[in-house]
Structure 1
Amino acid sequence: MTAFSCIIPAYNEGPRIAAVLECVLRQEELSEVIVVDDGSRDDTAAIAESYRSAHPQLRVLRQSVNAGKTAAVARGIAEAQGAHLVFLDSDLLGLTPEALGALLAPVAAGRADVSLSLRRNAPRLWHAIGLDYISGERVLPRAMLADRLEELHRLPQFGLEVFMNRIWIAEQARIAVVPWPEVDSPMKHDKLGTWRAGLRADARMMGDIFRTIGPVQALRQIRHMRGLRVRHDVGALPGTKAAPTR
Protein backbone atom coordinates (compact mmCIF):
# COMPACT_ATOMS: atom_id res chain seq x y z
CA MET A 1 0.00 0.00 0.00
CA THR A 2 1.33 3.44 -0.94
CA ALA A 3 2.20 5.61 2.07
CA PHE A 4 1.13 9.23 1.66
CA SER A 5 2.36 12.13 3.80
CA CYS A 6 0.12 15.18 3.55
CA ILE A 7 1.81 18.58 3.98
CA ILE A 8 -0.34 21.64 4.64
CA PRO A 9 1.48 25.00 4.79
CA ALA A 10 -0.57 27.62 6.63
CA TYR A 11 -0.29 31.33 7.34
CA ASN A 12 -3.08 33.20 9.15
CA GLU A 13 -5.69 30.64 8.12
CA GLY A 14 -7.55 30.44 11.43
CA PRO A 15 -10.98 30.96 9.78
CA ARG A 16 -10.43 28.20 7.22
CA ILE A 17 -7.98 25.53 8.34
CA ALA A 18 -10.43 23.60 10.53
CA ALA A 19 -12.63 22.71 7.55
CA VAL A 20 -9.60 21.45 5.64
CA LEU A 21 -8.41 19.34 8.58
CA GLU A 22 -11.90 17.91 9.16
CA CYS A 23 -11.68 16.47 5.66
CA VAL A 24 -8.01 15.49 5.59
CA LEU A 25 -8.05 13.66 8.92
CA ARG A 26 -10.86 11.41 7.65
CA GLN A 27 -8.71 10.19 4.75
CA GLU A 28 -7.44 6.75 5.71
CA GLU A 29 -4.90 6.64 2.87
CA LEU A 30 -2.85 9.37 4.57
CA SER A 31 -0.26 7.86 6.91
CA GLU A 32 0.59 11.27 8.36
CA VAL A 33 -0.61 14.86 8.16
CA ILE A 34 1.89 17.66 8.74
CA VAL A 35 0.66 21.22 9.23
CA VAL A 36 3.46 23.77 8.95
CA ASP A 37 2.41 27.03 10.56
CA ASP A 38 4.45 29.71 8.82
CA GLY A 39 4.71 32.24 11.64
CA SER A 40 0.98 32.98 11.78
CA ARG A 41 -0.21 35.94 13.84
CA ASP A 42 -3.62 34.39 14.47
CA ASP A 43 -4.81 31.11 16.01
CA THR A 44 -3.98 28.88 13.02
CA ALA A 45 -1.48 26.73 14.94
CA ALA A 46 -3.69 26.46 18.02
CA ILE A 47 -6.64 25.28 15.93
CA ALA A 48 -4.51 22.68 14.20
CA GLU A 49 -3.06 21.46 17.49
CA SER A 50 -6.56 21.03 18.94
CA TYR A 51 -6.97 18.00 16.64
CA ARG A 52 -3.82 16.21 17.77
CA SER A 53 -5.21 14.29 20.73
CA ALA A 54 -7.80 12.54 18.57
CA HIS A 55 -5.56 12.13 15.54
CA PRO A 56 -2.07 10.79 16.32
CA GLN A 57 -1.12 10.95 12.64
CA LEU A 58 -1.23 14.75 12.84
CA ARG A 59 1.85 16.87 13.55
CA VAL A 60 1.96 20.64 13.79
CA LEU A 61 5.28 22.36 13.10
CA ARG A 62 5.72 26.03 13.93
CA GLN A 63 8.00 28.34 11.98
CA SER A 64 9.30 31.20 14.14
CA VAL A 65 8.96 33.74 11.31
CA ASN A 66 6.87 34.01 8.17
CA ALA A 67 9.31 32.72 5.53
CA GLY A 68 6.80 31.95 2.79
CA LYS A 69 5.02 28.93 1.37
CA THR A 70 8.05 27.30 -0.24
CA ALA A 71 10.05 27.38 3.00
CA ALA A 72 7.09 25.93 4.92
CA VAL A 73 6.67 23.11 2.42
CA ALA A 74 10.42 22.39 2.52
CA ARG A 75 10.17 22.02 6.31
CA GLY A 76 7.33 19.56 5.87
CA ILE A 77 9.22 17.53 3.26
CA ALA A 78 12.22 17.27 5.59
CA GLU A 79 9.95 15.81 8.29
CA ALA A 80 7.77 13.59 6.09
CA GLN A 81 8.16 9.81 6.14
CA GLY A 82 5.83 8.69 3.36
CA ALA A 83 6.99 7.50 -0.04
CA HIS A 84 4.59 10.00 -1.61
CA LEU A 85 3.76 13.57 -0.71
CA VAL A 86 0.37 15.26 -0.85
CA PHE A 87 0.39 19.07 -0.90
CA LEU A 88 -2.78 20.91 0.08
CA ASP A 89 -3.46 24.59 0.57
CA SER A 90 -4.89 25.38 3.99
CA ASP A 91 -7.64 27.71 2.77
CA LEU A 92 -9.62 25.42 0.46
CA LEU A 93 -13.39 25.80 0.44
CA GLY A 94 -15.63 22.81 -0.16
CA LEU A 95 -12.93 20.14 0.13
CA THR A 96 -14.41 16.68 0.68
CA PRO A 97 -12.95 13.23 1.35
CA GLU A 98 -14.19 12.21 -2.10
CA ALA A 99 -12.29 15.05 -3.80
CA LEU A 100 -9.13 14.28 -1.87
CA GLY A 101 -9.50 10.57 -2.59
CA ALA A 102 -9.83 11.34 -6.30
CA LEU A 103 -6.54 13.27 -6.19
CA LEU A 104 -4.77 10.32 -4.55
CA ALA A 105 -6.33 7.55 -6.63
CA PRO A 106 -4.43 7.79 -9.95
CA VAL A 107 -1.06 7.73 -8.19
CA ALA A 108 -2.06 5.07 -5.68
CA ALA A 109 -3.27 2.83 -8.51
CA GLY A 110 -0.17 3.41 -10.63
CA ARG A 111 -2.13 5.02 -13.47
CA ALA A 112 -0.12 8.23 -13.08
CA ASP A 113 3.17 9.26 -11.51
CA VAL A 114 1.81 12.57 -10.18
CA SER A 115 -1.52 14.36 -9.95
CA LEU A 116 -2.82 17.88 -9.50
CA SER A 117 -6.20 19.49 -9.01
CA LEU A 118 -8.32 21.63 -11.30
CA ARG A 119 -10.55 23.56 -8.89
CA ARG A 120 -13.99 24.91 -9.76
CA ASN A 121 -12.88 28.55 -9.55
CA ALA A 122 -9.57 28.12 -11.33
CA PRO A 123 -9.26 30.66 -14.19
CA ARG A 124 -11.43 29.86 -17.19
CA LEU A 125 -8.33 29.57 -19.33
CA TRP A 126 -7.05 26.72 -17.16
CA HIS A 127 -10.36 24.90 -17.59
CA ALA A 128 -10.23 25.50 -21.35
CA ILE A 129 -6.76 23.95 -21.64
CA GLY A 130 -7.48 21.26 -19.03
CA LEU A 131 -4.62 22.17 -16.71
CA ASP A 132 -3.90 24.46 -13.76
CA TYR A 133 -0.13 24.61 -13.97
CA ILE A 134 0.22 26.48 -10.65
CA SER A 135 -2.22 24.35 -8.66
CA GLY A 136 -1.18 23.99 -5.02
CA GLU A 137 -2.90 20.61 -4.61
CA ARG A 138 -0.58 17.87 -5.81
CA VAL A 139 0.52 14.28 -5.26
CA LEU A 140 4.05 13.17 -6.18
CA PRO A 141 6.83 10.79 -5.12
CA ARG A 142 8.84 12.16 -2.20
CA ALA A 143 12.03 11.26 -4.07
CA MET A 144 11.35 14.02 -6.58
CA LEU A 145 11.97 16.69 -3.93
CA ALA A 146 13.70 15.06 -0.96
CA ASP A 147 17.20 15.77 -2.29
CA ARG A 148 16.36 19.27 -3.49
CA LEU A 149 15.64 21.01 -0.18
CA GLU A 150 18.52 23.44 -0.59
CA GLU A 151 17.17 24.42 -4.01
CA LEU A 152 13.72 24.92 -2.51
CA HIS A 153 15.08 27.29 0.11
CA ARG A 154 16.59 29.43 -2.64
CA LEU A 155 13.26 29.83 -4.43
CA PRO A 156 11.02 32.89 -4.09
CA GLN A 157 8.04 32.46 -1.75
CA PHE A 158 5.71 31.37 -4.56
CA GLY A 159 8.15 29.65 -6.88
CA LEU A 160 7.38 26.12 -5.69
CA GLU A 161 4.77 24.97 -8.20
CA VAL A 162 6.67 25.98 -11.34
CA PHE A 163 9.83 24.47 -9.86
CA MET A 164 7.97 21.18 -9.47
CA ASN A 165 6.67 21.48 -13.02
CA ARG A 166 10.24 21.68 -14.27
CA ILE A 167 11.05 18.40 -12.50
CA TRP A 168 7.93 16.68 -13.78
CA ILE A 169 8.74 17.66 -17.34
CA ALA A 170 12.40 16.60 -17.04
CA GLU A 171 11.33 13.21 -15.68
CA GLN A 172 8.48 12.84 -18.20
CA ALA A 173 6.09 12.12 -15.34
CA ARG A 174 2.61 10.92 -16.24
CA ILE A 175 0.27 13.65 -14.98
CA ALA A 176 -3.31 13.07 -13.86
CA VAL A 177 -5.35 16.29 -13.83
CA VAL A 178 -8.19 15.77 -11.36
CA PRO A 179 -11.22 18.06 -11.70
CA TRP A 180 -12.56 19.39 -8.39
CA PRO A 181 -15.98 20.76 -9.43
CA GLU A 182 -17.05 21.58 -5.86
CA VAL A 183 -13.77 22.93 -4.44
CA ASP A 184 -12.68 26.57 -4.52
CA SER A 185 -9.69 28.60 -3.46
CA PRO A 186 -10.79 31.88 -1.86
CA MET A 187 -9.97 35.04 -3.73
CA LYS A 188 -7.15 37.02 -2.15
CA HIS A 189 -9.24 40.18 -1.94
CA ASP A 190 -11.80 38.28 0.15
CA LYS A 191 -9.11 37.07 2.54
CA LEU A 192 -7.23 40.37 2.74
CA GLY A 193 -10.27 42.64 2.88
CA THR A 194 -9.84 44.90 -0.15
CA TRP A 195 -9.39 44.59 -3.89
CA ARG A 196 -6.21 46.64 -3.71
CA ALA A 197 -4.63 44.29 -1.17
CA GLY A 198 -5.72 41.30 -3.22
CA LEU A 199 -4.24 42.71 -6.41
CA ARG A 200 -0.96 43.43 -4.65
CA ALA A 201 -0.84 39.85 -3.35
CA ASP A 202 -1.59 38.44 -6.81
CA ALA A 203 1.12 40.64 -8.31
CA ARG A 204 3.67 39.41 -5.76
CA MET A 205 2.76 35.81 -6.51
CA MET A 206 3.08 36.25 -10.27
CA GLY A 207 6.35 38.13 -9.75
CA ASP A 208 7.74 35.17 -7.82
CA ILE A 209 6.61 32.76 -10.52
CA PHE A 210 8.23 34.74 -13.30
CA ARG A 211 11.42 35.23 -11.32
CA THR A 212 11.61 31.45 -11.11
CA ILE A 213 10.96 30.53 -14.75
CA GLY A 214 10.04 33.57 -16.89
CA PRO A 215 6.86 34.08 -18.98
CA VAL A 216 8.11 32.23 -22.06
CA GLN A 217 9.17 29.25 -19.96
CA ALA A 218 5.75 29.28 -18.29
CA LEU A 219 4.07 28.88 -21.67
CA ARG A 220 6.45 26.06 -22.53
CA GLN A 221 5.68 24.35 -19.22
CA ILE A 222 1.98 24.45 -19.96
CA ARG A 223 2.51 22.95 -23.41
CA HIS A 224 4.76 20.17 -22.14
CA MET A 225 2.52 19.36 -19.18
CA ARG A 226 -0.55 19.11 -21.39
CA GLY A 227 1.35 16.54 -23.42
CA LEU A 228 2.10 14.50 -20.30
CA ARG A 229 -1.52 14.20 -19.16
CA VAL A 230 -2.95 10.70 -18.91
CA ARG A 231 -6.52 9.50 -18.99
CA HIS A 232 -7.96 8.41 -15.65
CA ASP A 233 -11.33 7.68 -14.08
CA VAL A 234 -12.81 10.55 -12.06
CA GLY A 235 -16.33 9.21 -12.03
CA ALA A 236 -16.54 9.27 -8.23
CA LEU A 237 -16.99 13.04 -8.29
CA PRO A 238 -20.27 14.56 -9.50
CA GLY A 239 -20.06 16.72 -12.57
CA THR A 240 -16.68 15.44 -13.80
CA LYS A 241 -15.55 13.87 -17.03
CA ALA A 242 -12.63 11.62 -17.81
CA ALA A 243 -9.39 13.54 -18.08
CA PRO A 244 -7.88 13.75 -21.59
CA THR A 245 -5.10 11.48 -22.68
CA ARG A 246 -1.85 12.59 -24.19
Structure 2
Amino acid sequence: MESKFVSIIIPAFNEEDYIEKTIHSAMKLPYLKEVIVVDDGSRDHTKKILSLLKPLYKELRVFSLNHNQGKGQALMYGVKQANGEILVFLDADLGESISYATKLIDPVLQQNADMTIAIFPMSKKKGGFGIVKKLAQQGIYLATGFKTKAPLSGQRAMKREVLTNIHGLDKGFGIEVGLTIDVLKRGFHIQEIKIPFSHRETGRDLQGFIHRGREFIDVFKTLIKKWRMSE
Protein backbone atom coordinates (compact mmCIF):
# COMPACT_ATOMS: atom_id res chain seq x y z
CA MET A 1 0.00 0.00 0.00
CA GLU A 2 1.34 3.41 -0.97
CA SER A 3 2.33 5.52 2.02
CA LYS A 4 0.39 8.76 2.19
CA PHE A 5 0.07 11.34 4.94
CA VAL A 6 -3.29 11.09 6.71
CA SER A 7 -5.01 13.96 8.52
CA ILE A 8 -7.59 12.83 11.07
CA ILE A 9 -9.95 15.69 11.94
CA ILE A 10 -12.07 15.46 15.08
CA PRO A 11 -14.57 18.21 15.96
CA ALA A 12 -15.33 18.27 19.67
CA PHE A 13 -18.10 20.04 21.57
CA ASN A 14 -18.58 19.21 25.25
CA GLU A 15 -16.94 15.78 24.95
CA GLU A 16 -15.22 15.54 28.34
CA ASP A 17 -16.51 11.99 28.87
CA TYR A 18 -15.08 10.60 25.63
CA ILE A 19 -12.29 12.77 24.25
CA GLU A 20 -9.39 11.25 26.19
CA LYS A 21 -10.09 7.64 25.15
CA THR A 22 -10.76 8.78 21.61
CA ILE A 23 -7.42 10.59 21.32
CA HIS A 24 -5.37 7.82 22.92
CA SER A 25 -6.88 5.28 20.51
CA ALA A 26 -6.53 7.55 17.47
CA MET A 27 -2.81 7.84 18.16
CA LYS A 28 -2.44 4.07 17.75
CA LEU A 29 -3.74 4.09 14.16
CA PRO A 30 -0.93 2.73 11.93
CA TYR A 31 -0.44 5.65 9.55
CA LEU A 32 1.93 8.50 8.92
CA LYS A 33 -0.53 10.96 10.38
CA GLU A 34 -1.60 14.02 12.29
CA VAL A 35 -4.63 14.19 14.55
CA ILE A 36 -6.34 17.57 14.47
CA VAL A 37 -8.90 18.29 17.19
CA VAL A 38 -11.05 21.39 16.86
CA ASP A 39 -12.67 22.33 20.16
CA ASP A 40 -15.88 23.99 19.02
CA GLY A 41 -16.36 26.34 21.97
CA SER A 42 -16.87 23.62 24.58
CA ARG A 43 -18.25 24.73 27.93
CA ASP A 44 -17.19 21.66 29.92
CA HIS A 45 -13.67 20.31 30.57
CA THR A 46 -12.95 19.28 26.97
CA LYS A 47 -10.49 22.13 26.39
CA LYS A 48 -8.62 21.41 29.63
CA ILE A 49 -8.33 17.69 28.85
CA LEU A 50 -6.97 18.50 25.38
CA SER A 51 -4.37 20.84 26.87
CA LEU A 52 -3.13 17.96 29.04
CA LEU A 53 -3.06 15.51 26.13
CA LYS A 54 -1.27 17.77 23.66
CA PRO A 55 2.24 17.50 25.21
CA LEU A 56 1.98 13.69 25.11
CA TYR A 57 1.79 13.37 21.33
CA LYS A 58 3.77 15.21 18.68
CA GLU A 59 1.13 14.22 16.10
CA LEU A 60 -1.66 15.94 18.05
CA ARG A 61 -2.69 19.44 16.97
CA VAL A 62 -5.37 21.23 18.97
CA PHE A 63 -7.34 24.31 17.95
CA SER A 64 -10.05 26.10 19.93
CA LEU A 65 -12.84 28.22 18.50
CA ASN A 66 -14.01 31.17 20.59
CA HIS A 67 -17.64 30.07 20.50
CA ASN A 68 -19.71 27.17 19.25
CA GLN A 69 -19.99 27.43 15.47
CA GLY A 70 -21.34 24.00 14.60
CA LYS A 71 -19.82 20.79 13.29
CA GLY A 72 -19.51 21.96 9.69
CA GLN A 73 -17.54 25.06 10.60
CA ALA A 74 -15.32 23.11 13.00
CA LEU A 75 -14.55 20.54 10.33
CA MET A 76 -13.76 23.19 7.72
CA TYR A 77 -11.44 24.90 10.19
CA GLY A 78 -9.66 21.58 10.67
CA VAL A 79 -9.45 21.00 6.92
CA LYS A 80 -7.73 24.37 6.48
CA GLN A 81 -5.07 23.33 9.01
CA ALA A 82 -4.62 19.83 7.58
CA ASN A 83 -1.53 18.73 5.66
CA GLY A 84 -2.70 15.27 4.62
CA GLU A 85 -3.38 13.81 1.20
CA ILE A 86 -6.13 11.79 2.87
CA LEU A 87 -8.64 13.57 5.11
CA VAL A 88 -10.59 11.64 7.72
CA PHE A 89 -13.61 12.93 9.68
CA LEU A 90 -14.22 11.13 12.97
CA ASP A 91 -16.46 12.03 15.90
CA ALA A 92 -15.06 12.75 19.35
CA ASP A 93 -17.32 10.22 21.09
CA LEU A 94 -16.02 7.08 19.33
CA GLY A 95 -13.71 6.25 22.23
CA GLU A 96 -11.66 3.09 21.80
CA SER A 97 -13.74 2.01 18.79
CA ILE A 98 -11.92 4.64 16.74
CA SER A 99 -9.33 1.88 16.18
CA TYR A 100 -11.69 0.49 13.50
CA ALA A 101 -11.04 3.60 11.39
CA THR A 102 -8.50 1.53 9.44
CA LYS A 103 -11.47 -0.09 7.67
CA LEU A 104 -12.54 3.40 6.61
CA ILE A 105 -9.13 4.70 5.53
CA ASP A 106 -7.59 1.71 3.74
CA PRO A 107 -9.98 1.63 0.73
CA VAL A 108 -9.11 5.28 -0.02
CA LEU A 109 -5.39 4.60 0.30
CA GLN A 110 -5.79 1.60 -2.01
CA GLN A 111 -7.55 3.76 -4.62
CA ASN A 112 -10.76 1.71 -4.34
CA ALA A 113 -12.87 4.75 -3.45
CA ASP A 114 -12.67 8.53 -3.45
CA MET A 115 -14.67 8.71 -0.22
CA THR A 116 -15.75 6.06 2.26
CA ILE A 117 -18.64 6.27 4.72
CA ALA A 118 -19.06 4.13 7.83
CA ILE A 119 -22.26 2.18 8.36
CA PHE A 120 -22.83 1.86 12.11
CA PRO A 121 -24.15 -1.31 13.78
CA MET A 122 -27.78 -1.44 14.88
CA SER A 123 -28.50 0.84 17.84
CA LYS A 124 -28.39 -0.79 21.26
CA LYS A 125 -31.33 1.23 22.53
CA LYS A 126 -34.50 2.56 20.99
CA GLY A 127 -33.96 5.93 19.38
CA GLY A 128 -36.13 7.73 16.89
CA PHE A 129 -38.46 6.29 14.28
CA GLY A 130 -36.11 6.64 11.30
CA ILE A 131 -37.89 9.67 9.86
CA VAL A 132 -34.76 11.79 9.45
CA LYS A 133 -32.82 8.89 7.94
CA LYS A 134 -35.59 8.17 5.43
CA LEU A 135 -35.78 11.85 4.47
CA ALA A 136 -32.02 11.94 3.93
CA GLN A 137 -31.97 8.70 1.95
CA GLN A 138 -34.81 9.75 -0.32
CA GLY A 139 -33.36 13.22 -0.78
CA ILE A 140 -29.93 11.90 -1.77
CA TYR A 141 -31.53 9.38 -4.17
CA LEU A 142 -33.67 12.03 -5.88
CA ALA A 143 -30.67 14.34 -6.23
CA THR A 144 -28.10 11.77 -7.39
CA GLY A 145 -29.64 8.34 -7.98
CA PHE A 146 -27.42 6.89 -5.23
CA LYS A 147 -29.07 4.53 -2.73
CA THR A 148 -27.28 5.15 0.54
CA LYS A 149 -27.50 3.05 3.68
CA ALA A 150 -25.75 5.60 5.93
CA PRO A 151 -26.89 9.08 4.85
CA LEU A 152 -26.26 10.64 8.28
CA SER A 153 -22.93 9.03 9.14
CA GLY A 154 -20.20 11.54 9.91
CA GLN A 155 -17.38 8.98 9.88
CA ARG A 156 -15.72 9.49 6.50
CA ALA A 157 -12.36 9.25 4.77
CA MET A 158 -11.63 10.97 1.47
CA LYS A 159 -8.97 12.13 -0.93
CA ARG A 160 -8.14 15.80 -0.45
CA GLU A 161 -9.21 16.52 -4.03
CA VAL A 162 -12.77 15.57 -3.07
CA LEU A 163 -13.10 18.58 -0.78
CA THR A 164 -11.22 20.95 -3.06
CA ASN A 165 -13.80 20.24 -5.77
CA ILE A 166 -16.88 21.16 -3.73
CA HIS A 167 -18.03 24.46 -2.28
CA GLY A 168 -17.30 23.82 1.38
CA LEU A 169 -19.46 22.02 3.91
CA ASP A 170 -23.04 22.76 4.86
CA LYS A 171 -23.89 23.99 8.34
CA GLY A 172 -25.73 22.18 11.10
CA PHE A 173 -26.95 18.61 10.93
CA GLY A 174 -27.25 18.74 7.15
CA ILE A 175 -23.50 18.53 6.67
CA GLU A 176 -23.34 14.80 5.85
CA VAL A 177 -26.26 14.86 3.43
CA GLY A 178 -24.88 17.91 1.65
CA LEU A 179 -21.40 16.40 1.40
CA THR A 180 -22.72 13.16 -0.08
CA ILE A 181 -24.73 14.99 -2.74
CA ASP A 182 -21.90 17.34 -3.66
CA VAL A 183 -19.35 14.54 -3.94
CA LEU A 184 -21.58 12.35 -6.10
CA LYS A 185 -22.55 15.21 -8.40
CA ARG A 186 -18.88 15.81 -9.14
CA GLY A 187 -18.43 12.24 -10.27
CA PHE A 188 -16.50 10.83 -7.32
CA HIS A 189 -16.92 7.24 -6.20
CA ILE A 190 -18.36 6.59 -2.72
CA GLN A 191 -18.09 3.29 -0.86
CA GLU A 192 -20.13 2.54 2.26
CA ILE A 193 -18.58 0.08 4.73
CA LYS A 194 -19.98 -1.68 7.78
CA ILE A 195 -17.73 -0.77 10.71
CA PRO A 196 -18.32 -1.68 14.39
CA PHE A 197 -17.94 1.86 15.68
CA SER A 198 -19.68 2.69 18.95
CA HIS A 199 -20.74 6.14 20.11
CA ARG A 200 -23.16 8.02 22.31
CA GLU A 201 -26.75 7.29 21.30
CA THR A 202 -29.82 9.45 21.79
CA GLY A 203 -32.89 7.79 23.27
CA ARG A 204 -36.62 8.35 23.19
CA ASP A 205 -36.54 11.09 25.78
CA LEU A 206 -37.23 14.81 25.45
CA GLN A 207 -33.60 15.65 24.70
CA GLY A 208 -33.46 12.93 22.06
CA PHE A 209 -36.61 14.14 20.30
CA ILE A 210 -35.40 17.76 20.37
CA HIS A 211 -32.11 16.64 18.79
CA ARG A 212 -33.87 14.71 16.04
CA GLY A 213 -36.25 17.61 15.43
CA ARG A 214 -33.32 19.95 14.81
CA GLU A 215 -31.69 17.30 12.65
CA PHE A 216 -34.83 16.95 10.52
CA ILE A 217 -35.05 20.72 9.96
CA ASP A 218 -31.36 21.03 8.99
CA VAL A 219 -31.49 18.04 6.63
CA PHE A 220 -34.65 19.38 4.99
CA LYS A 221 -33.06 22.84 4.53
CA THR A 222 -29.94 21.29 3.04
CA LEU A 223 -31.95 19.22 0.57
CA ILE A 224 -33.95 22.27 -0.51
CA LYS A 225 -30.70 24.19 -1.02
CA LYS A 226 -29.18 21.41 -3.15
CA TRP A 227 -32.30 21.02 -5.27
CA ARG A 228 -32.43 24.79 -5.94
CA MET A 229 -28.75 24.81 -6.91
CA SER A 230 -29.38 22.07 -9.47
CA GLU A 231 -32.21 23.95 -11.18
Report if TM-score (shorter chain) is over 0.5.
yes
Deviation (angstroms), 1:148: 5.2
Distance across 2 between alignment mates of 1:30 and 1:14: 27
Amino acid at match of 1:204: R
**Counterpart in the other structure of 1:135:** 153
How many equivalent pairs are there? 206
Deviation (angstroms), 1:94: 5.0
1:212 equivalenced with 2:222 (yes/no): yes
The 8 Å contact of residues 45 and 60 in structure 1, kept in 2 or not, is answered as no
Matches within 5 A, 1:123-202: 131-146=149-164, 151-152=168-169, 155-181=170-196, 183-189=197-203, 195-202=205-212
1:95 match: secondary structure: helix
The 8 Å contact of residues 78 and 146 in structure 1, kept in 2 or not, is answered as no
Between 81-90 and 162-171, the greater mean CA deviation after superposition: 162-171
The 8 Å contact of residues 36 and 63 in structure 1, kept in 2 or not, is answered as yes
- Name stretches of at least 5 consecutive residues in structure 1 with no aligned partner: 218-246
Distance across 2 between alignment mates of 1:69 and 1:139: 16
The 8 Å contact of residues 19 and 92 in structure 2, kept in 1 or not, is answered as yes
Pairing partner for 2:66 from 64, 69, 76: 64
Distance across 2 between alignment mates of 1:93 and 1:119: 14
Paired-residue identity, %: 30
- Stretches of 4+ aligned residues off by more than 3 angstroms: 121-126, 146-149, 214-217
1:188 match: secondary structure: coil
The 8 Å contact of residues 178 and 226 in structure 2, kept in 1 or not, is answered as no
Distance across 1 between alignment mates of 2:210 and 2:173: 14
**Counterpart in the other structure of 1:109:** 110
* Two-structure CA RMSD over aligned residues (Å): 2.5
1:116 match: secondary structure: strand
Distance across 1 between alignment mates of 2:164 and 2:32: 18
Given the superposition, is the C-alpha separation of residues 10 and 30 from structure 1 closer, same or farther in structure 2, using an over 3 Å criterion? farther
- Name stretches of at least 5 consecutive residues in structure 2 with no aligned partner: 134-146
**Counterpart in the other structure of 1:10:** 12
Deviation (angstroms), 1:195: 1.1
Between 18-27 and 45-54, the greater mean CA deviation after superposition: 45-54
Greater share of residues in helix: 2
